[in-house]
Amino acid sequence: MNREAAAAQPYEFKDTYQFRFTRKIADGGMGSIYEAHLFGSEGFEKTVTIKTIREKFTGDRDFVDMFIGEAKLVADLVHQNIVQIYKLGRIGNQYYIAMEFVNGINLQEFSNRHIELGTKVPHELGAFIISRVCRGLEYAHTKRDKHGAPLAVVHRDISPKNLMISAEGEVKITDFGIAKARNLMKDQEGQVLMGKAQYMSPEQAQYMPTDARSDVFSLGVVMFELLTGESIFGTNEDTTVILENVVVKDIPRPRDVNPDIPEALEKIIMKALERNLSKRYQDAGKMGYDIEYYMYHKGYGPTIVTLEKYMRQLFPHLYKAPLEKEDQQTTSRPVKVTDSERKMAEANTVIDPKPPAKK
């Protein structure tokens, strides 16, 4: 066999990954998020995000399976509007996911900033943000496996905290932790209710099977809140009350809350919020098309550059030099960490161990 033919043959090699944790970004209900640096040969370095399972849940097999399933699912979801996953690793009994680092804020923080300023989100920019989420969902919903069979992905947790806006004006969907996909993620529908109550679709709130249209409804709720600044189904009420509101409460027209919203956008929001599945948008792509037609059919409309310029005004700290950010971090209040997280941080590295020997 000549050299060219040999090089074309499948082969494998083993390598290790080294990460240095630089700061904790956030604690979630069942996991923690860190900013870290990935190191390679010859001084290679890349900023990544590390997601870990909180120590008290490492023995919960169902949760660990969801964590692993998220990594396996999103590994093949390669799209500019979805946060990319690089690696699933394990240190002892603690799993971690290395993923794309997004220097930015989530949509909840974006909305909160406008509340602080006493202003509304510009409807053109709000529409642009939602249109990008539509394209990310369209890709995920229509994704097929290596054999060409539909994966039937449903995110099931579309909410402001799971939608990111980068400093460059890119919009990205994150956290597929409770997503379902054929033969990959457990759906447990009819048995377990997962997600944020105020953003659920009526079918999800009633433990019924969900499909891509459920994510469309959730996105309609997000779009309503983004452009009006008001919640549809409540936030401080008991979860049972919110779930009932999702199923039966009259949905107000967006223009009754914010008259500045154009009629065309109101029509799109109300179609996304149809409780009747046959009347709702049948896919996120069609919803995205209608928003894009509204933005661009008369000519020039908002782009990622437009959103970046706006972000610079609202969140100037995102654009400061790294040294300035480090100074801010050293004076910030420390975040409590668990024993296992402290050991990982004190070591400053995470070295992926060799895979266990096959039995």
Q: Using CB atoms within 10 A of its CB, is residue 284 exposed (0-12), middle (13-18) or buried (19+)?
A: buried
Lowest mean pLDDT among 31-35, 81-85, 321-325: 321-325
Token pair in block for residue 281: 């948008």
Determine contact, residues 74/191, Cβ cutoff 8 Å.
Answer: no
Q: What is the pTM of this model?
A: 0.85
pLDDT in tens, 256-306: 999 999 999 999 999 999 999 999 999 999 999 999 999 999 989 999 999
Longest CA span, the chain: 75
Whether the pLDDT of residue 346 is over 70: the answer is no
Domains and CATH numbers, the chain: 18-101+320-351 (3.30.200.20), 104-317 (1.10.510.10)
In angstroms, the CA 110 to CA 116 distance is: 10
pLDDT in tens, 124-170: 999 999 999 999 999 999 999 888 999 899 999 999 999 999 999 99
pLDDT given for residue 187 in this prediction: 60
Residues in the chain: 359
pLDDT given for residue 179 in this prediction: 86
pLDDT given for residue 331 in this prediction: 39
Whether the pLDDT of residue 235 is over 90: the answer is no
Tell me the catalytic residues: 157
Please, what is the average pLDDT of the chain? 86
pLDDT given for residue 1 in this prediction: 52
